[in-house]
Amino acid sequence: MKFAVIGGTGLIGSRVVENLNAAGHQAVPHSLSTGVDVITGQGLEAAVAGADVVVNLTNSPTFDDASPAFFRTSMDNLLAASRKGGVGHVVILSIVGVDKVPGLDYYRAKVLQEEVLKAGPIPYSIVRATQFMEFMDATLSMTADGDTIRLPRTPVQPIAAADVAGVVAEVAAGSPVNGVVNIAGPDVYPLDELGRLTLTAKGDGRRVVTDDTAGLFAAADGDVLTAPADARIAPTHYTDWLS
């Protein structure tokens, strides 16, 4: 099969391309660096023409109230180009619990992306993943102040990017589910505890202070960011990934 992987040079996209090609498919990565712009549409029709499947892994450059416009425009452009190019399946990557955190602009934007895809003319699959292990450093930096990092007790279930990419590639190579596939890591941690575990493993002397109002994930109530009952559980444990 032929795949056009939009956002195919990034953390997940590069691994998806590698996995698909290793399985004997033809997967081509596309991004701004290859001349494809999902906002202006430049290079998009040529990128998806003749592809059996389009995997869209592009992301908004901001997490604020500008992000809905990015996802609306990029999905409209992508679906129009894909329909013209005869694409039979469009796959996107989203977030577990994304529809349960209305207080976050970025999560509302991702819900909008899902809705645009669902309302579109092409069979689709949505892969929702929990928070990437690779993003823990960025999460710590968001609320760092000198030697102190403030984190809420929000339960999270981190997943390795390699595991995410494996499922995205598998779903893309299969029949459209016209629904959602949830995936999560094997272990649940309160975010503040995960922060302490990470700092200790890295020999980082900073300390984590529990603050249930701090950072992006303070807006998530209860266990909405952890695996729902139907989720596929990935094999990589955070402690193994850290080591």
- For residue range 165-224, list pLDDT tens digits in order: 999 999 999 999 999 999 999 999 999 999 999 999 999 999 999 999 998 899 998 999
66 pLDDT above the threshold of 90? yes
Q: What is the pLDDT of residue 103?
A: 87
The whole-number pLDDT of residue 118 equals 98
Q: The pTM is what?
A: 0.95
Phi, psi of 53 (to 5 degrees): -135, 140
Find tokens 């996802």 and name the residue: 71
What mean pLDDT value characterizes the chain?
A: 96
Rounded to whole angstroms, the Cα distance separating 128 from 137 reads: 21
Given a contact cutoff of 8 angstroms between Cβ atoms, the answer to whether 53 and 1 are in contact is yes
Question: Which residues are CB-neighbours of 111 under 8 A, at least 6 positions away?
Answer: 98, 99
Radius of gyration of the chain (CA): 18
What pLDDT is stored for residue 25 in this prediction? 98
* Strand-by-strand arrangement of the 232-233 sheet: 26-30, 2-6, 53-56, 89-95, 124-129, 180-184, 232-233
Q: Check whether 51 has a pLDDT greater than 90.
A: yes
- Dihedral sign for Cα 105, 106, 111, 117, please: positive
Taking residues 57-62, what's their average pLDDT?
A: 93
Decide: residue 213, CB within 10 A, 0-12 exposed, 13-18 middle, 19+ buried: exposed
3-state secondary structure of 185: coil
Taking 90 as the threshold, does the pLDDT of residue 120 lie above it? yes
Is pLDDT at 140 greater than 90 in this prediction?
A: yes
Whether the predicted pLDDT of 33 surpasses 90:
yes
Q: Mean pLDDT, to the nearest integer, of 157-162?
A: 98
For residues 113 and 73, the answer to whether their CB atoms sit within 8 Å is no
- Give me the mean pLDDT over the 82-93 stretch: 98
